[in-house]
Amino acid sequence: MPLSNSEQRFIQTLIENGPTYRADLSRILNVSRTTITNLTQTLEAANLVGEDSTATQNLKKPLTLTTELGIIVSLAYHFTKVETTVGTLCGNILYHQLESYPLDLTAQQRLLLGATKIKEALTQLAIPLSKLLGIHLAVDTQSDKTTGKVYSSAASKKWHDVNPKKFFTHTFNVPVYIENTARLQGLAEATWGAGTGSNNVYYVHLSHGVTGAQILNGAIMAGTRGGAGELGHTVYSWSGPLCSCGNRGCLMQYVSIPAIERDASSTLGKSMKYAEFAQHLKDRLPLALDIMERAMQILSQSLVNICHLLDPEVIILGGEIVEIDYPFAEKVELYLRQHALPLSGTQIIIREQQFHGEDVACGKAGITSLRQTEEIIQLALSK
């Protein structure tokens, strides 16, 4: 059934705003309550619109879009996990799962695993593949957001010889939008987490590498080809340790899990894994405290540059390194207030992440990004 202009506006408003009460729809669309009632009845009869059963109110419930109009998927690859999220065009989350995979899984095997998880999710929801409108794909490496190409380098060796965007486009025959996983986590923090209410947020993910993400007015600043945010490959010292990218002295050679393991092992004269280091830090052993203090200062020096370049309202620190027992945010904020220029430094706020590995926020951010995509909206309206 072709949709009338009024019905399209009605549906597009629900896509843009999420589940919405009838009175608010009347105000947004600038039409009478009677018109909203009539449109609702027509679209309910077509099984395109219904009441939001997840709403907590006991009386009237907001209107939402059904899966008949289509569903969207967020697939995010983390270091050793793949995260699958299925949502409606209104943003309701229907399915969320994290599944671990071996670190030595090949790039092709990871892609096949992701495709399998999408198919399993839709089977479990009893939703046919024909209802899939688009995929938001987040990978933990640099990938050209237009072509999907992963440029060959030691830093991206986990994804050598594959094009994730082309693979999922070919497999599911739907539009695929690609993003970096850490930047997507930054969008989640800026939207619903530690950056809520701020228009200019800078997120730093500290884990096996270091990634930055500027979130400006609710949107990821990804750069021309999606290459922005490689904070870990900004050079701290050109005479420093050799980095996987081929340069020397990149930030991630001082502030990352591998760097901490290297420094702790070198100091002790024996191999030390990150979990053991974290316990030493919790026990306040001087060796662990010294290593973490050095890492904090080097990170802070790099963030002084971020303050001067981007002037963020809030910097959010996330990732496994921030989760250990150390007052990262407090120390970084003190350093920036002392060393950044006053216009930025006196106002800057440093917070630690609110969401952690098991939260649905990263997947929800992928679903939200797709809902804001004009191509996806038009696909839904044309079906």
* pLDDT digit string, tens, across residues 133-143: 999 999 988 88
Was domain 5-65 assigned CATH 1.10.10.10? yes
Quick one: pLDDT band at residue 153, thresholds 50, 70, 90? low
Q: Write 369-372 long-range contacts (CB < 8 A, 24+).
A: 369/74, 369/136, 369/177, 369/179, 369/184, 369/187, 369/220, 370/72, 370/74, 370/133, 370/134, 370/135, 370/136, 370/177, 371/15, 371/16, 371/72, 371/89, 371/90, 371/91, 372/16
The pair of three-digit structure tokens given for residue 146, joined into one six-digit string: 């237009």
Residues 70-81: pLDDT tens digits? Answer: 999 999 999 889
CATH for 69-183+359-382 is 3.30.420.40
**Contact criterion met (CB below 8 Å) for 75 and 137:** yes
Q: Which residue has the tokens 């992928």?
A: 366
Range from 53-67, 117-131, 360-374 carrying the lowest mean pLDDT: 53-67
Q: Model's pTM, two decimal places?
A: 0.89
In the prediction, which pLDDT does 57 show? 63
**Contact criterion met (CB below 8 Å) for 260 and 277:** yes
Quick one: pLDDT band at residue 159, thresholds 50, 70, 90? confident
Same fold, 5-65 and 195-352: no
| Strand 210-216 with 200-206, pairing | antiparallel
- The answer on pLDDT for 50 being more than 90 is yes
**Contact criterion met (CB below 8 Å) for 79 and 56:** no
- d(CA 359, CA 352) in angstroms, rounded, equals 15
In the prediction, which pLDDT does 260 show? 97
The pair of three-digit structure tokens given for residue 252, joined into one six-digit string: 């991630």
**Contact criterion met (CB below 8 Å) for 233 and 155:** yes
Mean pLDDT computed over every residue of the chain: 93
Quick one: pLDDT band at residue 154, thresholds 50, 70, 90? low
Which segments of the chain does DSSP mark as H helices, in order? Answer: 5-17, 22-29, 33-45, 107-125, 164-172, 181-192, 257-268, 274-282, 286-310, 320-323, 328-339, 342-345, 361-371, 374-382
Q: Write the single-letter amino acid at 279.
A: Q
CATH superfamily to which 195-352 belongs: ATPase, nucleotide binding domain (3.30.420.40)
| Strand 71-77 with 81-88, pairing | antiparallel
- d(CA 321, CA 327) in angstroms, rounded, equals 11
- d(CA 76, CA 82) in angstroms, rounded, equals 6
Residues 206-258: pLDDT tens digits? Answer: 999 999 999 999 999 999 988 899 999 999 999 999 998 899 999 999 999 99
Residues 282-333: pLDDT tens digits? Answer: 999 999 999 999 999 999 999 999 999 999 999 999 999 999 989 999 999 9
- d(CA 45, CA 38) in angstroms, rounded, equals 11
Q: Which residues of 311-327 are buried (b: 16+ CB within 10 A; e: fewer)?
A: ebebbbbbbbbbbbebe
- For the chain, the domains span 5-65, 69-183+359-382, 195-352
**Contact criterion met (CB below 8 Å) for 184 and 169:** no
